[in-house]
């Protein structure tokens, strides 16, 4: 789990359980993590130091790669929008600030209807750029599991969660909600979300051979390279 001093100082408008859930899913809490989306194959070994992460990222970018970096796996296409250098994005606090900006925008545009709940739609947007695809690729389920774990760890287990437990809407429009067993985490099983007693935390493969992932919105304005980024700040410490 991330140090709470770091979380409250660098992403104060996000609930700590959400910060930890996203960082766990994205990087496994590795501040030097690099995910290669396209253009340079996959890394055989993750960097183990700040200097190694910076040099590796620069080498990949020089080869035309599209990469995600740091705790929140900030995409290289958005560095100009954040006005960040490679050196800066591997700073844990700077990375969490960027994570907060993207998540806030995603939460603002997630709306009050659609798959899952608003928080989960924001997670989908963080991963895929829209509020839908993160459900089908398994990302939302991973963050949901991690969120359920951290929201319990960060409070007295005898009390109710600070945030409502997520619900999940599967493709056949069935919504599985937690009722009597609200203290138990959620986990996908055979395409349906069920309550389980034990949580097997999973971390997304940073170097999966899949389509490029943009943790940005899908609406104008666009930068010259076609990558979209909008900043719309609002407090999402308490969510519905």
The 10s digit of each residue's pLDDT in 113-161 is: 899 999 999 999 999 999 999 999 999 999 999 999 999 999 855 444 4
Closest CA to 147 of 174, 172, 173, 116: 116
Which pLDDT score is estimated for 165? 44
* Architecture (CATH level 2) of domain 4-195: Orthogonal Bundle (1.10)
Alpha-carbon span 196 to 208, nearest angstrom: 27
3-state percent breakdown (helix, strand, coil) of the chain, nearest 5 = 40, 10, 50
Alpha-carbon span 230 to 69, nearest angstrom: 19
Alpha-carbon span 75 to 127, nearest angstrom: 10
Which pLDDT score is estimated for 168? 44
CA angle 219, 220, 224 (to 5 degrees): 120
State the pTM of this model.
Answer: 0.67
Q: E strands of 55-202, at which residues?
A: 66-69, 74-75, 168-169, 175-176, 186-189, 192-195
Residue 160 has what DSSP assignment? P
Which pLDDT score is estimated for 130? 94
Does the structure show a pLDDT above 60 at 80? yes
**Domain boundaries in the chain?**
4-195
């Amino acid at each position: 789990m991330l140090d709470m001093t770091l979380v409250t100082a660098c992403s104060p408008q996000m609930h700590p359980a959400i910060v930890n859930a996203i960082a766990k899913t994205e990087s496994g809490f590795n501040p030097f993590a690099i995910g290669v989306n396209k253009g340079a194959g996959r890394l055989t070994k993750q960097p183990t130091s700040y200097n190694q992460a910076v040099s590796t990222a620069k080498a990949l970018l020089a080869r035309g790669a599209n990469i995600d970096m740091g705790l929140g796996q900030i995409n290289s296409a958005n560095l100009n929008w954040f006005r960040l250098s490679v050196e800066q994005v591997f700073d844990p606090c700077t990375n969490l600030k960027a994570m907060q900006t993207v998540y806030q925008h995603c939460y603002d545009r997630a709306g009050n209807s659609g798959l899952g709940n608003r928080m989960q739609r924001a997670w989908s947007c963080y991963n895929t750029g829209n509020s839908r695809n993160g459900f089908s690729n398994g990302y939302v389920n991973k963050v949901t599991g991690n969120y359920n774990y951290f929201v319990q760890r960060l409070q007295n287990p005898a009390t109710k969660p600070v945030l409502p437990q997520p619900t999940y809407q599967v493709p056949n429009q069935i919504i599985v909600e937690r009722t009597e067993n609200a203290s138990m985490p959620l986990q996908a099983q055979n395409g349906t979300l069920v309550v389980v007693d034990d949580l097997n935390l999973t971390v997304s493969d940073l170097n999966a051979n899949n389509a490029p992932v943009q943790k940005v919105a899908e609406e104008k304005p666009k930068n010259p390279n076609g990558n979209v980024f909008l900043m719309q700040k609002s407090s999402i410490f308490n969510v519905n």
